[in-house]
A and B are shown apart, each in its own frame.
Chain A
Amino acid sequence: GDSVTQMEGPVTLSEEAFLTINCTYTATGYPSLFWYVQYPGEGLQLLLKATKADDKGSNKGFEATYRKETTSFHLEKGSVQVSDSAVYFCALSDPGSNYQLIWGAGTKLIIKP
């Protein structure tokens, strides 16, 4: 079945550091890929998405590129801020999963000033 694997956290970085959170997937079809973010005490919110191979999703300085050849959708940001501290979830939606979102385990990001 479909699955999403994220790097384990927590990931701790200093402010202005470069961020990468790895996400790889297994899918039977051609999934759409998503990154959601959960700030402390809040619900999840969609951060960015990509619907086909080589698409790049971007929002709030974050980027992720849909790589079909490596089945990956890594999240990157060039310079993180303390306010980026949150839990980040990678997810996919695919006909093989009846379009239900398949979620990664989440990666907690801690940014220190």
Chain B
Amino acid sequence: DSGVTQTPKHLITATGQRVTLRCSPRSGDLSVYWYQQSLDQGLQFLIHYYNGEERAKGNILERFSAQQFPDLHSELNLSSLELGDSALYFCASSVAQATGELFFGEGSRLTVL
């Protein structure tokens, strides 16, 4: 158990819909990262927050947005969903913002029909 909690674990929705994925980082961790993992296993960095502020953006679509709240939990909002958005979405956390030692949640599997 990494200490990172993601909900929901599974989500099935239709094209055009909007979903919110939630992440609670490990106790004490200030950094939260969001990743997308496609079926071919590739890992795509989406966005990084540190103590409530956006620190880095990867290849995140404009239809996607995220935020980190004062209690340090984070949400990833995916809107106008397309079939290609079906993937595993991972949240990871770390104590600092300049470290490669991340702790990953078990992921949220999104299926868009």
Contacts and interface: CB of A to CB of B under 8 A. Distances in A.
A47 B56 CA distance: 25
A87 to B, nearest CB: 6
A101 B100 contact: yes
Nearest to B91: A43
Given A99-B97, A100-B48, A100-B56, A46 B102 contact: yes
Contacts of A25: none
A75 interface: no
Given A44-B104, A100-B56, A93 B42 contact: no
Interface centre among A87, A101, A103, by most chain B C-beta atoms within 10 angstroms, is A101
Contacts of B39: none
Contacts, number: 53
A3 to B, nearest CB: 13
A99 B101 contact: no
Nearest to A104: B43
A43 B45 contact: no
Tell me the dominant secondary structure on chain B's binding face. Answer: loop
A46 B101 contact: yes
A50 to B, nearest CB: 10
A52 B89 CA distance: 31
A21 interface: no
A17 B45 CA distance: 34
A45 B104 contact: yes
B42 A106 contact: yes
Interface string B92-109: 100001111111111100
A70 interface: no
B100 A44 contact: no
A105 B2 contact: no
B106 A93 contact: no
A101 B102 contact: yes
Contacts of B45: 100-101, 103
Interface of A: 32, 34, 41-46, 49, 87, 89, 91-93, 98-101, 103, 105-106, 108
The 4 closest A-B pairs by CB, nearest first: A43-B104, A93-B100, A99-B98, A44-B104
